[in-house]
């Protein structure tokens, strides 16, 4: 009897009930249009500042899920400089933060460039610039060569939640994954993002960093064929907010059947919630902008009201 979906004979031919997802995919599409419309009403500076904050949140919370805490002000500062936000702060960021920022910008800004093994390896190296994670050496920029399992609990009472495919299967499975990601499809990008996220995490091709790269790849797929270079909301922030449920949904999807309708529905729900957060923030920002437009304030008053 198969314990994991990669052991099923039809792997990796995922299925899902498309009609049952029509409502949630429609909500996501409508919210995306609203997000873009609201952000278009902001000034250039406000929009760039919000984009920098969204991307900063995306990187920070994606790493936080894995227990790595980055310095938010350095992330935001470097993103402001990269996005050419006027009067950006000049906090020194360091090669690690600059590397993970460049990885996300590459994923979002070059969605039409094929995802290849070389490109993925370069993203993986930015996670471990010194080829270490704590006291452990990491083979950064190469597939794992040993078996790997996702566990929970203390060292003495560990529970195996998931075992990945054998290491010798990883190169071929990743080639199939790249082929699927790079093949044009009529399937909505949010659904493809959910599938890519689950598929990549099931292969678990690296010794470490799989979760962070799965979320980067999810963002990459969300932005494929997009005219904008950013997704305009932080999905990783939502996944961190619902981290326990996130792990439970992944576990159910990886140990069930290849019908991943429930996983896709949950994933799309997180996208929609992330969009709603941006809508609320945009509306507040526009209210402040309208307030400043209606009245005349001196420099000290403007600074106080802005804060």
Phi, psi of 92 (to 5 degrees): -65, 135
Do 275 and 32 contact (CB within 8 A), yes or no?
yes
Lowest-pLDDT range of 15-29, 121-135, 242-256? 121-135
Residue scoring higher pLDDT (189 or 137): 189
> What DSSP letter does each residue of 92-146 carry, written as one string?
---HHHHHHHHHHHHHHHTTTSPP-HHHHHHHHHHH-TTSEETTEE--TTS---S
Q: What is the mean pLDDT of residues 48-65?
A: 94
Query: How many Å apart are CA 63 and CA 237, to the nearest integer?
Result: 10
Q: What is the mean pLDDT of residues 3-12?
A: 95
Query: How many Å apart are CA 111 and CA 298, to the nearest integer?
Result: 45
3-state SS, 263-276, equals: HHHHHHHHHHHHHH
pLDDT tens string 100-110: 999 999 999 98
Residue scoring higher pLDDT (178 or 112): 178
3-state secondary structure at position 162:
strand
Q: Is the pLDDT of residue 43 over 70?
A: yes
Query: How many Å apart are CA 35 and CA 27, to the nearest integer?
Result: 12
SS3 helix, strand, coil % of the chain, rounded to 5? 60, 5, 35
Query: How many Å apart are CA 190 and CA 172, to the nearest integer?
Result: 25
Q: What is the mean pLDDT of residues 197-221?
A: 97
The domain ranges of the chain are 5-306
Query: How many Å apart are CA 269 and CA 266, to the nearest integer?
Result: 5
1.20.120.1150, 1.10.1200.10, 3.20.20.70, 1.10.3290.10: CATH of 5-306: 1.10.3290.10
pTM check: above 0.85: yes
Q: What is the average pLDDT value for the chain, to the nearest integer?
A: 90
């Amino acid at each position: 009897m198969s314990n994991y979906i990669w052991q099923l004979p039809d792997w990796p031919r995922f299925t899902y009930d498309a009609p049952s997802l029509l409502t949630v995919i429609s909500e996501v599409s409508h919210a995306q249009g609203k997000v873009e419309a609201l952000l278009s009403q902001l000034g250039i500076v406000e929009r760039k500042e919000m984009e920098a904050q969204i991307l900063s949140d995306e990187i920070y919370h994606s790493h936080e899920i894995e227990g790595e805490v980055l310095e938010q002000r350095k992330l935001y500062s470097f993103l402001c400089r990269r996005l050419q936000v006027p009067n950006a702060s000049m906090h020194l960021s360091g090669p690690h933060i600059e590397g993970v920022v460049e990885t996300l910008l590459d994923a979002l800004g070059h969605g039409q460039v094929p995802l290849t093994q070389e490109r993925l390896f370069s993203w993986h190296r930015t996670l471990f610039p010194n080829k270490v994670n704590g006291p452990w050496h990491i083979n950064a920029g190469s597939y794992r060569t040993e078996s790997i399992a996702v566990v929970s609990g203390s060292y003495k009472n560990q529970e195996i939640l998931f075992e990945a495919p054998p290491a010798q299967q990883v190169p071929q499975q990743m080639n199939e994954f790249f082929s699927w990601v790079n093949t044009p499809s009529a399937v909505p990008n949010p659904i493809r993002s959910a599938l890519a996220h689950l598929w990549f995490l099931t292969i678990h091709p690296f010794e470490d960093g799989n979760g962070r790269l799965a979320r980067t790849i999810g963002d990459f797929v969300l932005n494929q064929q997009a005219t904008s270079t950013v997704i305009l909301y932080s999905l990783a922030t939502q996944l961190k907010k619902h981290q326990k449920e996130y792990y439970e949904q992944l576990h159910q999807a990886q140990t069930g059947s290849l019908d991943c309708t429930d996983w896709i529905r949950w994933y799309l729900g997180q996208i929609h919630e992330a969009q709603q957060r941006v809508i609320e923030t945009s509306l507040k920002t526009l209210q402040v902008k309208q307030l400043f437009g209606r009245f005349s304030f001196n420099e000290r008053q403007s600074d106080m009201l802005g804060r």
